[in-house]
Amino acid sequence: MSEPILQTDDLAIGYRTRRHAPHLVAERLDLRLYPGELVCLLGPNGAGKSTLLRTLAGMQPPLRGQLRLAGTDLYRLSPQELARRLAVVLTDRVEVGNLSVRTLTALGRYPHTGWSGRLTPRDEVAIDQALMAVGIADFAARSVHELSDGERQKVMIARALAQEPQLLLLDEPTAFLDLPRRVELMGLLRRLAREGERAVLLSTHDLDLALRGADQLWLLQPEGSIQVGVPEELVLNGAFQHAFRGAGVAFDACTGAFVFQHPPMGRIDLVGHDLAAVWTRRALEREGFVVSGHEDPPATLRVAIHDQEGQTVWRLHHEDTYQDFPTLSQTLRGVKTHWFAARTEQ
Amino acid sequence: MPLSLPTCLADGQLPLLLLRQLVLSLLCLLVLAGDGWADKPAAAPPAMNLTNGCVEHYDPNVDYFPEKATLAYAKGFALQYFKHYKVLTVTMPWPEAKESFRYILVQCGTPVPEDTGGAQVIEIPIRSIAILSTTHLSHLELLGALDRLVAVSTYDNVYSPAARRRIDAGQVAEVGRGPSINLETLLDLNPDLVTAVGHDQPQYNSHPLLSNAGVHVVINSEYVEPNLLGRSEWLKLTAAFLNQDGRSQHLFAGMVQRYQGYAAQLRDLPTAQKPTVLGGFLQRDVWYVPGGDSYIAQLVADAGGVYLWANDAHRASIPLSFEAVYERAGDADVWFTSNQDWFKRADLLAANQRYAAFKAFRDKRVYNNNARLNDYQANDYWEAGIVEPDVQLADVIKILHPEILPDHTLKYYRWLP
Amino acid sequence: MSATLDTVHVPPTASQTRSDLWRWSLLGGLAIALVAAFFLNVAFGSVRIPLSEIITILTGGEASKPSWSYIVLAFRLPKALTAILAGAALAVSGLQMQTLFRNPLADPYILGINAGASLGVALVVLATGAATGFLSNVGLLGDLSLIASAIAGASLVTGLVIVAARWLRHAMTLLILGLMLGYATSAIVSILIYFSVPEQIQAYIAWTFGSFGGVTWRQLLILAPVIGAGLLLAVLLTKPLNALLLGEAYARSMGVDVQRVRFWLIAGTSVLAGAVTAFCGPIAFLGVAIPHLCRALLHSSDHRLLVPATLLMGGLAALLADLVASMPGSRTILPLNAVTALLGAPIVVWIVLRRDGPRSDFSS
């Protein structure tokens, strides 16, 4: 493993207020960012993700500790030197008016050009590479305000790439994008990290994508400590569950998803192993049932899925009778009918 | 003499009684009549207007204004005389006015006429007066009525030394004018009359506020007249309130005589000998040049000069561009300006270098009407100048044709070195 | 997937170069229009002078009437040059303010410069002595005292704003501070007006009308280098201005020293707008309207195009406004501010209505 691009030692972040003592957000942060890595910064609201990102981006000095970018104290670097090594992409949609995609991307060359901003051939190459890397070379001539939100964020990433940074920081870049675009962006960022030999750090609320796409996770706990590790590790050691516990919500380590927690209504047995069974289980669990396989004692209701001449059929066993349903929706209604009927009898 | 009738009469003596009664009654009547005659001698009409005091016993047949003023030059007001009241109509309270103001000046001690037609009724002669424009001050001084002055608009605008002495003695108050006039002080002083100037811009007028407060205010706007004599004749308006109609008539006649005397000397002057004249000055981009129908144009004509905008029909000043003025008057012989702050040509240059391009400037023939200023920057041109039209004419003649009046020294105009 | 990207160079598409070319030729067109307007302004004025005479005078010959020679050389020529300088100065500084504050209605006076200059002039014209007025001090400096007092007033307000700019983090705070300073000084001027006599008020109001005609050749010797310096500074600030299009946060991340750039932008604007106000009085609308006009014309927010465009268009608009104000053929003139407002207001309205649509030409 090469040298870390970003390194913090015993970093404490927060902000100074004029009258009171400085407000501490998180401390004892020993973090490392290596080239080729995609790291996601996660944490519940208010844990301090933005503060950490701002501190790492050089926008807000730390309260104490060391912060090094490629070996040099980050806050000792001049704005221009910093800009040559570090680029940011922010959440908000920026209205730039009437600029072409290429012109906006070219703005990223700011720290590399002279006082006039004139672009040398070298600069043009960097711009081209940025556009291609992000995949928007085709609409370089189009005006930015014609683009959709997703394309626009890509342009902002291209601009950041044009700075030729070693470290790319992104603050919730997917916040306003729909799911397909989010996935696409994560994939793009992974590629940029790997192929460009740069470190990419992004903060996000998209836990699922972070779990799947990140090489490392930095998990900010509500009490101000941070846990670093491979995503799966953080699930297995319970850090994830701890960070995101909340009222009525729990992180299900098995599925890697959040589930609503409520007192279960009862137990239902489910028989079946294919895709239909997986989704039937989910439906039943959403309804509030605990789904079990063959257990003692058997549950009052049992759903068995089998194939009948190529069609999936759900058979609901109730006491000694059964009922067949051709669709999952009807099955669920049947389950609920029987369940509540049984309850009222009692 | 007590009237007594015999109360006891014997019956049967009726015819004798009746005769005695008749004789007694007749006697009583005669006594009564004699009584009245003794207390009221025959009313003789006054020889002069009453400048002080009121009429004791009013006689409707008496003409209380044996001295009457007639107007020869002033077009902005008219005076009508009735036996015991005068009707003053100010037809031109401001230029191009659509309304006129009527005032009924009732001799003190006589009754107010029945049909006033909504006009202001003012008792004359007035004993106290507040002056909102120093152009009226010289009227008072000339008529010897300065002791009746109780208030002026602004102390700093007063030139007259006599008036200043009264101010220093605390006998004259300062009340401002226009919308910010100090109504309280004025009401407290309760002058018999306030003279105000009329403006066509209603926001500058003082008279509405004063009328509403019940103060007697007359509009005295001499500046509407297109010539100096007309302006000076408004002396008679002030005089009418002081019952000095005769005196003002006499004074004005003197002014006219002297004025016409001067003008006569220039009447037959050939045009070639008349110098060309420019007026006004540049204010930012606009040069306000006196109009062809203004008193300045008339003055220049009377003094044997050619005013370069004499053909213009405006009475007020015309706003012109620098180009237009320079093109027509760049070669004017004489320049009469009116910027209070200019005392030498260097002042003009400081204000605008382009003045140096004018021939009048280069030939050092620039004159300003600020020759008589006191320590408070008050200009006598607007005070005594108003009642000395002949001296003003003499000044201008001296400037345009110095050889005609060799003994005259400039009084109101200053040569700018 | 990772080809050697160094060797792959995607040339700008043909359509892109074509549109770029279009923009630059538009700039060229503006320059030509400016020169044409300059000659129009010299040829036409209050007094009718035949074209042949104009040409004779300009080429150093003798005119039939010497007054015409004077009018053209000593009056119209410096007036036209002043118009170009003032128009360029106001338009460019308006552009700077609009970008810095990301506010389409910002103009060069937004930091109270205009109000400060007005206060300086008002103090001299309205408050000196009881029965004076007009353009001179007791020391009789005349026109120069007016200029000096305007500069003093503008500098005072600007100084306050610049000091504040060092301490304040957000541009919006600065904007509000400037606005409030403007209101405060206007209030003081109102009080001065209230206690003045009509002649003084008239003189002050005459100043507020704005005028290019009051600047003589000698004054141009001062005005031209000052405005030249301000315009040069604006050109040097083109690069950071473009970065500021993305907002101060992004600009910082790209290496822009936002505090310093803000300082220089404000200083540059103060010099440009302050000088114009001092020599010509407050001139409205050019600062607001011209940048929008240029953005709409060029379909671009790129300051490398906008700075020269506003410079040229500003000079052009000022020349045209001056031409209209001098009412060729009639002997009177209109106040310059009235003309710029009449021309500028519809433009601003049009711009705002266009913004209402789906296409946006400007950042908010």
Q: Which domain CATH number covers A224?
A: 3.40.50.300
**Residue that terminates a domain, selected from A221, A252, A283:** A252
A13 strand-pairing partners: A26
CB nearest C132 (choices: B157, B327, B377): B377
Do B350 and C75 count as a contact with CB atoms less than 8 A apart? no
pLDDT band at residue C357 under the 50/70/90 scheme: low
Do C245 and A79 count as a contact with CB atoms less than 8 A apart? no
Residue-range definition of the domain harbouring residue A110: 6-252
Per-domain boundaries in chain B: 77-256, 265-415
Cis geometry, peptide bond prior to residue B41 (ω within 30 degrees of 0): no
Sort strands A199-203 and A216-220 into parallel, antiparallel or unpaired. Answer: unpaired
Instruction: Say whether A65 sits in a helix, a strand or coil.
Output: strand
For residue C92, tell me if it sits in a domain: yes
CATH of B265-415, one of 3.40.50.410, 3.40.50.1980, 3.30.530.20, 3.30.70.980: 3.40.50.1980
Contact call for residues C46 and C213 (beta carbons, < 8 A): no
Instruction: Say whether A293 sits in a helix, a strand or coil.
Output: coil
pLDDT at B180: 77
pLDDT band at residue B275 under the 50/70/90 scheme: very high
Task: Find where tokens 């306050």 sit.
Answer: C160
Among residues A40, A50, A41, A38, which one has the least CA distance to residue A5?
A38
Do C142 and B204 count as a contact with CB atoms less than 8 A apart? no
What the block records as the tokens of C50 is 């035949």
Contact call for residues A100 and A155 (beta carbons, < 8 A): no
**Residue that terminates a domain, selected from A252, A285, A317:** A252
pLDDT at A166: 92
How many Å apart are CA B395 and CA B372, to the nearest integer? 13
**SS3 per-residue string spanning C115-130:** HHHHHHHHHHHHHCCC
pLDDT at C226: 93
Calculate the CA B149 to chain-centre distance: 15
How many Å apart are CA C30 and CA B17, to the nearest integer? 127
pLDDT tens per residue, range C117-150: 888 888 887 776 433 444 443 333 456 777 888 8
**Residue that terminates a domain, selected from A192, A219, A252:** A252
What order of strands is seen across the sheet that includes strand B193-196?
B173-174, B149-152, B129-131, B193-196, B217-219
Q: CA-CA-CA-CA torsion for A304, A306, A311, A312, nearest 10 degrees? A: 30
How many Å apart are CA A143 and CA A139, to the nearest integer? 8
C314 strand-pairing partners: none
How many Å apart are CA A61 and CA A16, to the nearest integer? 10
pLDDT at C141: 41
What the block records as the tokens of C262 is 């803000």
Residue of A nearest to C244 (CA): A96
Burial class of residue B318 in the structure, from the number of CB atoms within 10 Å of its CB (0-12 exposed, 13-18 middle, 19+ buried): buried
- Asked whether the ipTM of the predicted complex exceeds the cut of 0.85, the reply is no
Residue-range definition of the domain harbouring residue C86: 40-355
CB nearest C131 (choices: B156, B318, B354): B156
Among residues A159, A150, A171, A176, which one has the least CA distance to residue A100?
A159
CA distances from A250 to A204, A206, A253, A282, A284 (A): 19, 16, 9, 15, 17
How many Å apart are CA C348 and CA C293, to the nearest integer? 9
Task: Find where tokens 């006491």 sit.
Answer: A319
How many Å apart are CA A200 and CA B331, to the nearest integer? 82
Do you know the residue count of chain C?
364
CA-based nearest distance B287→chain C, Å: 9
What the block records as the tokens of A190 is 């992974």
Do C216 and B320 count as a contact with CB atoms less than 8 A apart? no
pLDDT tens per residue, range C301-313: 999 999 999 999 9
Contact call for residues B303 and B333 (beta carbons, < 8 A): no
pLDDT tens per residue, range C58-105: 898 888 888 899 999 999 999 999 999 999 999 999 999 999 988 888
pLDDT at residue C330 tops 80: no
- Report the number of distinct structural domains present in chain C: 1
Interface test with B, best of C53, C71, C201, C222 (most B CBs within 10 A): C71
CB nearest A82 (choices: C242, C255, C302): C255
For residue A260, tell me if it sits in a domain: no
Contact call for residues A117 and C242 (beta carbons, < 8 A): yes
Contact call for residues C340 and C285 (beta carbons, < 8 A): yes
What the block records as the tokens of C42 is 């010299």
**SS3 per-residue string spanning chain B:** CCCCCCCCCCCCCHHHHHHHHHHHHHHHHHHHHHHHHHHCCCCCCCCCCCCCCCCCCCCCCCCCCCCCCCCCCCCCEEEEECCCEEEEEECCCCCCCCCCEEEEEEECCCCCCCCCCCCEEEEECCCCEEECCHHHHHHHHHCCCHHHEEEECCHHHCCCHHHHHHHHCCCCEECCCHHHCCHHHHHHHCCCEEEECCCCCHHHCCHHHHHHCCCCEEECCHHHCCCHHHHHCCHHHHHHHHCCHHHHHHHHHHHHHHHHHHHHCCCCCCHHHCCEEEECEEECCEEEECCCCCHHHHHHHHCCCEECCCCCCCCCCEEEEHHHHHHHHCCCCEEEECCCCCCCHHHHHHHCHHHHHCHHHHCCCEEECCCCECCCCCEHHHCHHHHCHHHHHHHHHHHHCCCCCCCCCCCCCEECC
Contacts of C347 (CB under 8 A, 6+ apart): C289, C292, C293
Contact call for residues B140 and B131 (beta carbons, < 8 A): yes
Say how many C-beta atoms besides its own lie within 10 A of residue A317's C-beta: 17
How many Å apart are CA B317 and CA B288, to the nearest integer? 6
pLDDT tens per residue, range B91-110: 999 988 899 999 999 998 89
- Report the number of distinct structural domains present in chain A: 2
Do C255 and A79 count as a contact with CB atoms less than 8 A apart? yes
Task: Find where tokens 């400096």 sit.
Answer: C141
Query: Are A245 and A270 part of one and the same domain?
Result: no
How many Å apart are CA A123 and CA A134, to the nearest integer? 17
pLDDT 10s digit of each residue in chain A, 346 long?
A: 578 889 999 888 888 887 888 888 888 888 999 999 999 999 888 778 888 998 999 888 899 899 999 888 988 988 899 999 999 998 877 888 789 999 999 999 999 998 888 899 999 999 999 999 888 989 888 888 888 888 888 999 999 999 999 999 999 888 878 888 888 889 999 999 998 889 999 999 888 888 888 999 999 888 878 889 999 888 888 888 887 777 667 777 777 777 777 777 888 888 887 888 889 888 888 888 888 877 777 788 888 888 888 888 999 888 888 888 999 999 899 888 888 887 777 6
A321 strand-pairing partners: A318
pLDDT at B122: 92
pLDDT band at residue C177 under the 50/70/90 scheme: confident
pLDDT band at residue C6 under the 50/70/90 scheme: very low
Which residues of chain C are within 8 Å of residue A129 when distances are taken between CB atoms? 5-6, 8
pLDDT at B19: 67
Phi/psi of residue A100, nearest 5 degrees: -80, 160
pLDDT (mean) for B134-141:
93
How many Å apart are CA B135 and CA B160, to the nearest integer? 11
Do A82 and C360 count as a contact with CB atoms less than 8 A apart? no
Among residues C164, C165, C141, C139, which one has the least CA distance to residue C151?
C141
Around B311, how many Cα atoms within 13 Å sit in the side-chain half-sphere?
2
CB nearest B351 (choices: C74, C142, C333): C142
Residue B37, chain C, CB below 8 Å: the answer is no
pLDDT tens per residue, range B180-226: 788 889 999 999 999 999 988 887 788 888 888 889 999 999 999 99
How many Å apart are CA B340 and CA B372, to the nearest integer? 11
For residue C183, tell me if it sits in a domain: yes
pLDDT at B60: 85
Query: Are A240 and A274 part of one and the same domain?
Result: no
Q: Is the alpha carbon torsion for B57, B59, B62, B66 positive or negative?
A: positive
Query: Are A235 and A301 part of one and the same domain?
Result: no
pLDDT tens per residue, range C10-53: 555 544 555 678 888 999 999 999 999 999 999 998 888 899 99
Helical (H) or strand (E) element with A9: strand A6-15
What the block records as the tokens of B58 is 């009013």
Shared fold status for B77-256 and B265-415 = yes
How many Å apart are CA B323 and CA B329, to the nearest integer? 10
pLDDT at residue B38 tops 50: no
Query: Are A188 and A305 part of one and the same domain?
Result: no
Instruction: Say whether A315 sits in a helix, a strand or coil.
Output: strand
Higher-confidence residue of B22 and C274: namely: C274
Higher-confidence residue of B154 and C171: namely: B154
How many Å apart are CA C232 and CA C228, to the nearest integer? 6
Which residues of chain A are within 8 Å of residue C16 when distances are taken between CB atoms? 100, 102, 140-141
What the block records as the tokens of C226 is 């000052």
What the block records as the tokens of B361 is 């400037």
For residue A257, tell me if it sits in a domain: no
Residues of chain C with a CB closer than 8 angstroms to some CB in chain B:
45-47, 65, 67-68, 70-71, 74-76, 129-136, 140-144, 194, 198, 202-203, 206-207, 209, 211, 213-214, 216, 218, 281, 326, 331-333, 335-336
A88 strand-pairing partners: A169
pLDDT at residue B26 tops 70: no
**CATH number of the domain that C331 lies in?**
1.10.3470.10
pLDDT band at residue B39 under the 50/70/90 scheme: very low
Query: Are A205 and A278 part of one and the same domain?
Result: no
CATH code at B77-256: 3.40.50.1980
Q: How large a percentage of chain B has pLDDT more than 90?
A: 59
